[in-house]
A and B are shown apart, each in its own frame.
Chain A
């Protein structure tokens, strides 16, 4: 198992190098030389000239590439043009926020998706099954940002106008915390944060949950037909045990690989959902950076996003090995 993990880690290294290179290529493929994108009211021509020298733009391209590589490897992501501070410190603030949002969504996606998938497989061809399949079709055809707006419209602005609407089901439209957050007690702070998480994590996760449910259903149906399920039944186990112990663990195997596939999708969604909900994460950062033409920040953020995807894929592979004994003992 350790050998397997080490092998996967080693395989990830060229991938990360490739990603750094790709970002380099994108920057250099842009019209004009890279300083052209730093032209900004707050940057004087002298600074640009200085930058050109610092970057060694007069040097041959491979030297430039090596410098670029070195700065990324040493964790020096440059300085933001608009905030005048190191990008590393900006992202250090933003990454946890994105992880909180995506993490919550991820848990929701898999918990809800797997549960619904199991129910559908066990009750295959029932009215419930057909209803859920149809709703899933509509749900994963929804743009996350639009769903976010609709949730804000209903749960933050309209529903509480109804007399009987419980106050607990009215959610804040934006941000991570309320204005009086600092005055709250410990539990109050936690509650406030959770309250702010509800709408964005639903907007972000619900489409993927529908998709997970769909995969889970077919995976489960595939497993239920297997011989070992018949063996389990012939042993006299209650149906609950047959499904939740014998079938579930096998059906989960292909679902774990989805984890790695969904993360990039989830981060794409996070860019839009953070924008809609004014959530101070990486997605919001990259959108703001683009509108302010803060290109170093754009590049660094997209690089970090890619690195996070690579790490997530590693985790998915390791999880797979943990669940499937056939890989563990390879």
Chain B
């Protein structure tokens, strides 16, 4: 593999609140190559969004990126960069789009102004030139009549159109990394597909690295080259999309896959993973997934399993004792039925 574009090592983002330390992201590592799409999957509350915001250092107090975390873009250490340097990275080298297109655009400024703003900040573009480029971007993301729509306000755009505008805004400065945090979750299914196609096409066209965050495995399977699965602030499994979806190794990934409805596969009932993610203030001891794991045995409750390697790995004691993989989700579902 070529030199990674973005490398995140042992990222820990903690929120130091009055009620205690919330370990939202707790030792996450991954890399992203140029032109590659990395999918991040996990239930809500597992730390996906905080991890993404940490890359751009957009964490507000009491949140803090802990000292020995390291985020590097090519060879630059972003955790050590000054706030000014960081600003020149945001929206310029690394861009981000968010889940809620309805609230992520400023209602009182025109779409054109909001797109041109990034160009004027990072490229010192003149107003006319920024405007021309903004129109170009709108055309690129498939918005008809871009010249005219530049002067419209967000409330005049539909949800899907707003997300396109957000993408146009994020890509205006030709970033080398685009972080998309659940960009399709708030949209209708048909529009979801359009946005996905658009992102895939743009990535191919512009050759940027894409981090695509979602809780929807179907979407991740469609767009990602490599996938990491997050649970309770940690990476529990990583691998290529084919590997992970073909043969998941971590019980959590296994459970997630089972919880995803698929066309053409008749299911007696849609299985879900019982319980919910524990409070990030007090993660369970040992393996953080053990309270919800169908295979868990004494070791899981006491010892923290490691994540060996990066390319293909599973943070689970089953890796060392594969013989214990018996029963599992089916038995659990059966038990629940009775």
CA distance A232 to B117 in the complex (A): 9
Contact flag A326-B96 (CB < 8 Å), given A228-B107, A246-B106: no
Residues of A within 8 A of B104 (CB): 227-228, 230-231
CB distance from B35 to the nearest CB of A (A): 22
Complex Cα distance, B87 from A238, in Å, reads 7
- Which of B88, B95, B106, B107 has the largest number of chain A CB atoms within 10 A? B106
A223 vs chain B, min Cβ distance (A) = 10
B153:A325 contact, CB within 8 angstroms: yes
Chain A interface SS verdict (over half): helix
Partner of B96, one of A234, A241, A250, A323: A234
Q: Which of B155-200 contact A (CB under 8 A)?
A: 155-156, 166, 169
A233 vs B94: C-alpha distance when bound (angstroms) = 12
Inter-subunit contact A228/B106 (CB<8 Å): yes
Evaluate contact between A233 and B106: CB separation under 8 angstroms: no
Once the chains bind, are B105 and A233 in contact (CB under 8 Å)? no
With both chains docked as a complex, state the minimum distance between the C-beta of B15 and any C-beta of chain A, in angstroms.
15
Interface residues of A in 207-251 (CB under 8 A from B): 226-228, 230-238, 241, 245-246, 249-250
Cβ A227 vs Cβ B87 within 8 A: no
Q: How large is the interface on A (under 10, 10 to 19, 20 to 34, 35 or more residues)?
A: 20 to 34
Known: A325-B108, A329-B153. A236 touches B98 (CB 8 A): no
B103 interface residue (CB < 8 Å to A) = yes
Decide: A237 and B107 in contact? CB cutoff 8 A.
no
Q: Closest B residue to A231 by CB, please name it.
A: B104
Interface centre among B58, B104, B122 (most CB of A within 10 A): B104
- Judge whether B278 is part of the interface by a CB distance below 8 angstroms: no
Q: Is the CB of A329 within 8 A of B156?
A: yes
Q: Which of A36-83 contact B (CB under 8 A)?
A: none
In the assembled complex, A324 has its CB within 8 A of some CB on chain B: yes
Chain B residues within 8 Å of A, Cβ to Cβ: 53, 56, 58, 87-92, 95-96, 98, 100, 103-109, 117-118, 121-122, 153, 155-156, 166, 169
Would you mind naming 17 contact pairs between A and B with Cβ atoms under 8 Å apart? A227-B104, A228-B104, A230-B104, A231-B98, A231-B106, A233-B58, A234-B58, A235-B90, A236-B92, A237-B87, A245-B109, A249-B109, A250-B106, A250-B107, A250-B108, A325-B108, A326-B107
Beyond A230-B98, A326-B153, A329-B155, 8 extra complex contacts between A and B, CB < 8 Å:
A227-B104, A234-B95, A236-B87, A236-B121, A237-B118, A241-B121, A250-B107, A325-B155
